[in-house]
Amino acid sequence: MSLPVSGSAPPALGRRIVLGPLEALYSALVRTRMHAYKRGWLQIYRPGIPVISVGNLTAGGSGKTPVADYLLATLHPNRAALLSRGYGRMSDSEPLRLRWDEEVSGTPELLGDEPCLLAQRHPDTPVFVGANRSRSARLAESLDCPDCLVLDDGYQHLALHRDFNLLLVDAERGLGNRRLLPLGPLREPVSHWKRADAVLITKANLGDPEVLLHQLQGGLGVTKPVFRFDYLAERLERLDGQVTRSLDSARGMRVMPVCGIAQPEGFFRILELSGLRLDESLQFLDHYAYTAVDVCHLQERLKTSNAEGWVTTEKDAVKLRAFPELAESGWVLTMAVKPEPAWADFWSKRLHALGLKAPDSRSSAPQPFKQEN
């Protein structure tokens, strides 16, 4: 379903009255679950190989997929396997394995949009999708004998031990009002940053990283290493992959943004910073499964707009490519992740400490985060 571009929020007092009891209940459940794992009442599976986790404290997008993509690229000297929940897939039952260079049969409906994108981006990396990441880890160990596991969106998945825990904080959104769901954006209390081995400020160039850094270190007392990760627009690629345009050549182009992501405002801002002029957007729910009706609606909207074409994210593109009628009218904005210089040395040392090979300077350089065809 498409969503309105804007809307009014309930009054603050009304929200607290209605959602406050639900927040208290959610908090009690989170703390009980944490206590159960600490006391050993709930089992934690410890694989025989290092587990590197990427996750966040807040609900919604914080740039986990581009960071997971970047980490997989820098882990290339090793044999890595990716474990993902696979949001948006049709079935959550058993773990599913796919390696793109063995069998190009994965679809967003089968894998979920983000795992499908990462599988195509890293065709020699086995991807395991399933709600039970411990079961996926066991399957990966038995089938592929990897050197390490990358756990995508795994900060709250306590049933699987991790050896290196990366906590991502979005520079645009920060930690919000620091309230738990549903009154705020937090999945768990802010004090749980202590489980992290390092904190990554994602989209640092789109927010105010210095203010966020002060909040983390001064306000919350974060003592773990903190690194800035910039998200940079690279180019426009036509949906069919046959045409590429530099952002300089596309400057001033009027486009209609189309996306189904958690934080569309960040996507819109990147488009504007890239010099594109935005027409009215077409927004959908996160992990949305596009239908033929949606495609017809998109085409009709494009005809009645002043836009020269429509533009979408790489995550949405893996689903929209299923509709050949869109192939020549849509563009995909490709992105690159660029960490601050100090990250490379820190990452190499941590990999060595885990018994893994560190990347050379070429593989650790920022690479375009793009959809392969």
Domain 51-231+337-369, CATH: 3.40.50.300
Amino acid at 249: S
Q: What is the enclosing helix (H) or strand (E) of 227?
A: strand 226-238
Domain 233-335 has CATH 1.10.10: no
10-residue mean pLDDT series, the chain (373 residues): 42 83 97 97 98 96 91 96 87 83 80 92 95 96 98 97 98 94 96 98 95 96 98 96 97 98 93 97 95 98 96 97 96 96 98 95 49 38
φ, ψ (nearest 5 deg) of residue 354: -85, 0
Q: Please, what's the b/e burial string for 340-366 (b: 16 or more CB within 10 A of its CB; e: otherwise)?
A: beebbeebbebbeebebebbeeeebeb
Rg of the Cα trace of the chain? 21
What pLDDT digit, counting tens, does each position of 61-118 carry? 788 999 999 999 999 999 999 999 988 776 666 789 999 998 766 788 888 999 999 9
Q: Token pair of 83, please? A: 């474990």
CA angle, 213 then 218 then 219, to 5°: 100
Report how far residue 279's alpha carbon sits from residue 305's, in angstroms, rounded to the nearest whole number: 7
- What residue spans define the domains of the chain? 10-39, 51-231+337-369, 233-335
Helix (H, G, I), strand (E, B) or coil at 10: coil
Domains 51-231+337-369 and 233-335 share a fold: yes
Report how far residue 84's alpha carbon sits from residue 95's, in angstroms, rounded to the nearest whole number: 10
Surface-to-core class of residue 32, CB atoms within 10 Å of its CB (0-12 exposed, 13-18 middle, 19+ buried):
exposed
CA angle, 215 then 265 then 271, to 5°: 115
pTM of this prediction? Answer: 0.91
